[in-house]
Amino acid sequence: MKDMQKIVIEGRRSLEGVVNISGSKNASLPIMAATLLTSEICSIRNLPNLRDIDSFSELMNSFGANIDKLDHAINICCDNINNLTAHYDLVKKMRASILVLGPMVARFARAKVSLPGGCAIGLRPINLHIDALKKMGATGSVEKGYIILEAPSGLHGADIYFPKITVTGTENILMAASLAKGRTIIHNAAKEPEVVALANILNKMGAYIYGAGTDKIVVDGVERLGGFEEAVIYDRIETGTFIAAVAAAKGEVLLKNAKIDMLECPVSIFDEMGVIIEKTEKGVKVSCDKGLKPANIYTAPYPGFPTDLQAQIMADLSLAYGTSIINENIFENRFMHVAELSRMGADIKVSGKQAVVKGVKHLTGANVMATDLRASASLVVAGLAANGTTVIDRAYHIDRGYESIEKKLQAVGARIWRES
Ligand code: EPZ
């Protein structure tokens, strides 16, 4: 009955203490996929305990990978892969499964991956991944909801021009190009820290990748790649989510292990709103003891404002002294949290990509529904600030991307718990 769980919050309690930031979900998933590129043991440390990590492990197991699950770590070995099909019932749980496509074709010359299907925040096609792999010599067809790619004579390097910046698209090609024959240049590449983290690990495995973190990445393919032992970088979106929580609930919290050098844009916006954010040797200290000023948000690829923090900062801005404009430029349907925030008294008008948020004096606790991962985080932020009790239904969404969020918030004084 895990899926029927609710999260209950009694609002208006300020936060004091220390929160341990976990390893990054969006860095962990491509790194787990990269283990398909080698037959040697790969040891991944600082993994977060998340549903998405469990789902990805289940997917890797279905291929025949050997996985030892340790405490916030796994050893994974893909020396005995006996299935090259990623089944729908596993892929539908997590779109990031598409990350197996590139490494699987590169190492095994074939992959059959269920098309992920739609998702709450948008259509999220994978055409750019497929077009790029075809440019590298893969031939493909779509049959009964599966993409089937083959490269009997292996992949070869190519000039890849992404017409739109795609994070997992860049990651798929980085992995595929590492074992392709010759040089691949990725133009208009994603510059997210998670892409850089993947490139660093691929280079540790023996790849030759230059320029990760810029919009032009050069990869010289090699014959084979070796194993690695590496810790995953800390989660910048979890960090930003807890900054939004302190902005809403007020107080002072140390976000242990957090780094703000991967959050320049959100930090400058929160600073503009009146949140005090300081880098310390233990992590990031966040404090806020007064009302918030409005701000205008434009989500964009890194280093712009991350779309994954848009819902959370909207909860803060719904309480600001004034009007804020939020432009969601990455996904076409990422305002599902607006209807739920409105049930709590927020004054938000959406037209197309734009949400106009008029600050209100207070929010009121209500029964609300989580629709997707970051929308559910937004409702937690709002619940911390609201008068009275908020009950968030379908709380399983939040467990996809946040490790024990209610325990971390309880530890700093929030009145928050789970109910079935
Ligand atoms: C990654 O998704 C993240 N997921 C998302 O985080 C994040 O929101 C997104 O990047 C943007 O930063 C992981 O890293 C596992 P995209 P991804 O390809 O790679 C369009 C979270 O909450 N597009 O960069 O799937 C697409 O529809 C998740 O942790 C195509 O049109 O996103 C979108 O509009 C949510 N064709 C835009 O590009 C394609 O082939 C950016 O998508 C691929 C993408």
Kindly report, residue by residue over 213-261, the tens digit of the pLDDT: 999 999 999 999 999 999 999 999 999 999 999 999 999 999 999 999 9
Fold (CATH) for 2-22+234-419: UDP-n-acetylglucosamine1-carboxyvinyl-transferase; Chain (3.65.10)
- Residue 29 Cα to ligand 1 midpoint, Å, equals 13
Is pLDDT of 368 > 90? Answer: yes
- 288 a catalytic residue: no
User: Where does ligand 1 bind, in terms of residues with CB under 6 Å?
Assistant: 25-26, 29, 96, 122, 124-129, 164, 166-169, 307-308, 330-331, 373-374, 401
* The ligand 1 atom nearest the CA atom of 401: 29
What average pLDDT does this structure show over 118-142? 91
Q: Residue ranges of the alpha helices (H) in 310-363?
A: 310-317, 336-343
- pLDDT at residue number 8: 98
Kindly report, residue by residue over 19-47, the tens digit of the pLDDT: 999 999 999 999 999 999 999 999 999 99
CB atoms within 10 A of CB 149: 24
Fold (CATH) for 25-231: UDP-n-acetylglucosamine1-carboxyvinyl-transferase; Chain (3.65.10)
- Residue 388 Cα to ligand 1 midpoint, Å, equals 36
- pLDDT at residue number 93: 86
Kindly report, residue by residue over 203-215, the tens digit of the pLDDT: 999 999 999 999 9
CB atoms within 10 A of CB 159: 10
The candidate with the shortest Cα–Cα distance to 233, out of 21, 73, 27, is 27
Share of the chain above pLDDT 90, in %: 94
- pLDDT at residue number 254: 98
CA distance 104 to 390: 44
Tokens of 363: 């929010």
CB atoms within 10 A of CB 18: 14
| Phi, then psi, of 398 in degrees rounded to 5 | -70, -25
SS3 assignment, position 151: coil
Tokens of 288: 């806020």
Closest residue CA from atom 14 of ligand 1: 26
Residue 230 vs residues 44, 203, 233, 337, 366: alpha-carbon distances, Å: 5, 12, 9, 36, 43
Closest residue CA from atom 39 of ligand 1: 126
Q: Domain coordinates of the chain in residue numbers? A: 2-22+234-419, 25-231
The pLDDT confidence band at residue 6, using thresholds 50, 70 and 90, is very high
> For residue 213, with 0-12 CB atoms within 10 Å meaning exposed, 13-18 middle and 19 or more buried, which class applies?
middle
Is pLDDT of 70 > 80? Answer: yes
Do 2-22+234-419 and 25-231 have matching folds? yes
CA distance 346 to 340: 9
Instruction: Report cis status (omega within 30 of 0) of the bond before 301.
Output: no
CA distance 206 to 12: 52
Q: Which of 93, 94, 97, 167 to mutate to test the pocket of ligand 1 (most atoms within 8 A of CB)?
A: 167
Average pLDDT taken over every residue of the chain: 96
> For residue 419, with 0-12 CB atoms within 10 Å meaning exposed, 13-18 middle and 19 or more buried, which class applies?
exposed
- Residue 241 Cα to ligand 1 midpoint, Å, equals 19
What average pLDDT does this structure show over 389-414? 96
Q: Residue ranges of the alpha helices (H) in 35-95?
A: 51-63, 88-91
Tokens of 60: 């890797």
- Residue 307 Cα to ligand 1 midpoint, Å, equals 9
Q: Among residues 42, 77, 78, 119, which one is catalytic?
A: 119
Kindly report, residue by residue over 84-104, the tens digit of the pLDDT: 999 999 998 888 999 999 999
Kindly report, residue by residue over 152-174, the tens digit of the pLDDT: 999 999 999 999 999 999 999 99
- pLDDT at residue number 124: 82
